[in-house]
Amino acid sequence: MALEVSAEPNGNGAGLRPPQRRYQNASAMVATLKPSYPVYCVHEREVKAAARRFLDAFPGRVLYAVKCNPHPLILKALYDEGIRHFDTASLAEVAQVRELFRDAECYFMHPVKARSAIKTADEVYAVEHFVIDHMDELYKVLDSAGGEGLAILVRIATPSAGAAYDLSAKFGARPAEAVELLQAIRSEGCQAGMAFHVGSQCLMPRAYRTALGIVGEIIDAAKVDIHYLDVGGGFPSSYLGAEAPPLDEFIGEIEDGLRDLKLRRDCVLMCEPGRALVATGMSLVVQVQLRKGDSLFVNDGVYGSLSETMTARLRFPARRIRLSEADTDEMGDFTIYGPTCDNTDQLPAPVRLPVDMREGDWIEFGHIGAYSNALASRFNGFYPDNWVQVEDAAMEVD
């Protein structure tokens, strides 16, 4: 049973019909549906509030990183709050955004792209901004999209800053390479820009100022006036045992770093938040299918929505939902196993829940909006794809 919404674009960009179901909270949803399948609960107000915080605080363009959560309900909530720019990493993401919201602008921010994807993005979807980190990729973009009117941003590598994912291990030009790329972009008659990404779930605001220092050194060496400066994503969200610094601290470090740069007055500043916009905007309700001692077997796991418990060692707030009787105050630690036949389908850290957990109880995991449904696989035939909207606020992190 999939409570999916229809995503049909119309002429003015408001491309979604109302969702099929809306509830006050996850408990009300459970009381009505009594689901034996996982259910994503979208907290639309949380998504909009996060978008408003960024739009008000960041001194430039705010691009949503679509890869973080591409569901139409999430995209529509962001769009409705005023997000009009989208960091897209594939032609499929470009197409999804442009077909939902005709006035939205897409930026092709993946440093490695197929020629056919570049050509279609340019000719069909009017994409004008591309990121590169290698000379061959520059000429691939020039050959596939043509040079006139293009903005090409050079992505640079930055030092590891204790983020959950060190993205510079895979992408990013070194300073000498970046200098050559900027000069080549200028010589081809394109608008030059620079970009970096300090790593996903970065808890160190200073990392942005450090990266901007490298940007300044490259600009001075290249002697190229850049038209765009993208400080990337990496803005964190709070999880159990990992409280994120306030957004103002990140903005402050960025503004301090900008003051030391020699930028043209019309240089466009951009950022690409993903996790910080949507993490608290969704929860996941699963059902207990069996209890074995202090182990609970549930119907979603690390091959589905909970993969970041493994890859990023994140811990999500959790609470039990039981309809028939009041909760006990006594709590215990439980090992959580997902539904697949793989023994690695296990959350690496115990989850604290009432000691009388039993088959048929539900568990709501909060702060699940980032990289959950986006990373879910179909392993063993299990795939979470049931959606509702809820009105209440996000679950608090104790």
Asked whether the domain spanning 44-278 has the same topology as the one spanning 22-42+280-390, the reply is no
Architecture per CATH, domain 44-278, reads as Alpha-Beta Barrel (3.20)
**E strand spans, 259-306:** 268-271, 282-292, 295-298
CA distance 365 to 87: 27
* Domain 22-42+280-390: assigned CATH number: 2.40.37.10
* Mode of pairing for the β-strands spanning 362-365 and 387-390: unpaired
User: What's the pLDDT score for residue 147?
Assistant: 67
Please tell me what DSSP assigns to residue 183: H
All residue ranges of the chain with pLDDT < 50 are 1-19
Of the candidates 352, 346, 344, 387, the one whose C-alpha atom is nearest the C-alpha of residue 368 is: 387
User: What's the pLDDT score for residue 326?
Assistant: 77
| Sequence ranges of the domains in the chain | 22-42+280-390, 44-278
User: What's the pLDDT score for residue 398?
Assistant: 73
User: What's the pLDDT score for residue 20?
Assistant: 55
CA distance 337 to 344: 9
Q: Could you tell me how far CA 333 lies from the centroid of its own chain?
A: 30
Q: Which residues pair with 377 in a beta bridge?
A: none
Give Cα separations from 47 to 9, 10, 42, 250 (angstroms).
21, 23, 9, 19
User: What's the pLDDT score for residue 3?
Assistant: 40
**E strand spans, the chain:** 22-23, 39-43, 61-65, 85-88, 105-108, 129-132, 151-155, 191-195, 228-230, 268-271, 282-292, 295-298, 318-321, 331-337, 351-354, 362-365, 387-390
Helix (H, G, I), strand (E, B) or coil at 279: helix
User: What's the pLDDT score for residue 6?
Assistant: 37
User: What's the pLDDT score for residue 289?
Assistant: 98
Backbone angles phi, psi at 64, to 5 degrees: -85, 130
Instruction: Say which residues have a Cβ less than 8 Å from residue 213's Cβ, sequence separation at least 6.
Output: 257, 260
CA distance 145 to 376: 33
Helix (H, G, I), strand (E, B) or coil at 154: strand
